[in-house]
Structure 1
Amino acid sequence: MDHHLDLRLLPDPEFGPLALMEALYAKLHRALAAGGTTGIGVSFPDVKGLDLGLCLRLHGSREALAMLMGTAWLRGMRDHLAIGEISAVPAQARHCCVSRRQSHSSPERMRRRLMRRQQIDEATARERIPDQAATFLRLPSLQVRSSSTGQHFRLFIRHGPLQNDPVPGVFNAYGLSATATVPWF
C-alpha cells in the first residue's frame, strides 16, 4: 500500500453524486472480481457521517494500480471523473481499516435463514428471533450488485479508527478488508 490514485466525481446536472459513486464502485467491483486482485484497497477520504463524499481513493502498489488503470474498467465513466496520477503515499500518513459491515435489519430474513439451516418451523424461529432483533447501521452505504451471486444489496462501509502502523492483509473484490489497513491522509 505504498501508492494511491484518486478518482474524484465531477458535478453532473443529470446524475446525483450518490448515483455516480454507485456506478463507479460497481465498475471497480467488476474489474477487481474479474482480475482476482487482492492487492487493491479503497477508501473514501471525504467521508462525513452518512455521506461517502466525492472521492474514491484506490490504494496499492504502483504496479497493481497501473495494471488496473491499463484496463478499460472506466469505460463510460471518464466524463464524470477527474482522474489523479498514481502517487506515492505521504510519509506522515496514518492507517485505517476500511471494511464492510453487515446489517441485521430484517428479522424475517433471519428467521427464514434459521428455518432453512436448522429445519425448524416458523413459530420456533419467531421465538428465537423476535422483531426487536433488528439492528440498523448508521454508516454510509452504496447499493451494489455482487459479481459472483448477482444479488443486489446495500454495502455498508466502515472507516475504522486511525492507527500509526499499517496492518498487511488481503482485500476482497470490493477493495475492503476486515483486518488490513490502507493509508489515511
Structure 2
Amino acid sequence: MTTHYIDIRVLPDPEFAESMLMGALYTKLHRALVQRAAGDIGVSFPHYSRIPRAIGPVLRLHGSAAALDALMGSNWLAGMRDHVRLSPMQAAPADAKHCTVQRRQFKTSAERLRRRRIKRKGETADQAAAAIPDDIERKPDLPFVHIRSSSTGQSFQLFVKVSAPTSQAVGGTFNTYGLSATATVPWF
C-alpha cells in the first residue's frame, strides 16, 4: 500500500526547459524501477493540469516507507541532483483522496497505421487507405512527459491520465513507469 511519499521538484535552470529536466528525471526513475522489478512504487504529479496541459515541476513518489527507502538508497538520481530538490519522506495524509495515474496511448498517425497494415496484411496502399481513414487520428489532450524506454531505447511521449479523486484506496502493483490502471495513489 502507498502509505508514504517523497516529492522531487525540478529546479528552474536557464539552460534546460522544465519539461526537458522532468523527462530526464522520469527516464532515470523508469530505469530504476525496471531494475527493482518490484511493482511497489507509484507516481503522481501534484501540479498536473489538463487546461492548460501540463505535468508540472513535481514528481511525487508513492510507496511504503521500506520501498521508498530501498529506491532512494540506490544511486538512481546520479547526474540529476543539481537539478532537483527532494522533500523528506513523509506519511501521506490520512484524509487524502485517491486516484489512478495511468498511461494512455493514442492512434496518432493514420499514415503510420496504414504502413503497418500494408506490412502485416500485405494490402496495397489504396486498400490500406480505404480501411484506415484520416479521421481515425486522435489529437491527444493529456499532459505528457518525453522519456526514453529502457527496453527499446526509443524516445516517446508518455501521456498521463489521472482519474477523478475518490475516497477509496485500491491496492495493486505499478508498472515500470510507476503507473497503474487499477492501483491508486493518494492525491493531495
Q: Please, what TM-score do these two structures have when normalized by structure 2?
A: 0.94
What is the alpha-carbon distance in structure 2 between the residues aligned to residue 65 and residue 91 of structure 1? 18
Matched positions, count:
185
Q: Which moved more, 1:115-124 or 1:14-23?
A: 115-124
> Which runs of 5 or more residues in structure 2 are unaligned?
none
Displaced runs of 4 or more, over 6 A = none
1:156 aligned to 156, 159, 169, which one?
159
- Amino acid aligned to 1:172: N
Counterpart residue number, 1:99: 102
Does the aligned pair in 1 maintain the 2:20–2:146 contact within 8 Å? no
Counterpart residue number, 1:112: 115
Structure 1 segment 34-183 matched on structure 2, within 5 A: 34-49=35-50, 50-183=53-186
- Amino acid aligned to 1:54: P
Q: Does 1:12 align with 2:9?
A: no
Q: Does 1:30 align with 2:31?
A: yes
> Which runs of 5 or more residues in structure 1 are unaligned?
none
Q: Which moved more, 1:162-171 or 1:69-78?
A: 162-171
Deviation at 1:122, TM superposition (A): 2.2
What is the alpha-carbon distance in structure 2 between the residues aligned to residue 42 and residue 117 of structure 1? 36
Root-mean-square deviation (Å): 1.2
Q: Please, what TM-score do these two structures have when normalized by structure 1?
A: 0.95
- Amino acid aligned to 1:29: H
Q: Percent identity?
A: 51
What is the alpha-carbon distance in structure 1 between the residues aligned to residue 167 and residue 99 of structure 2? 9
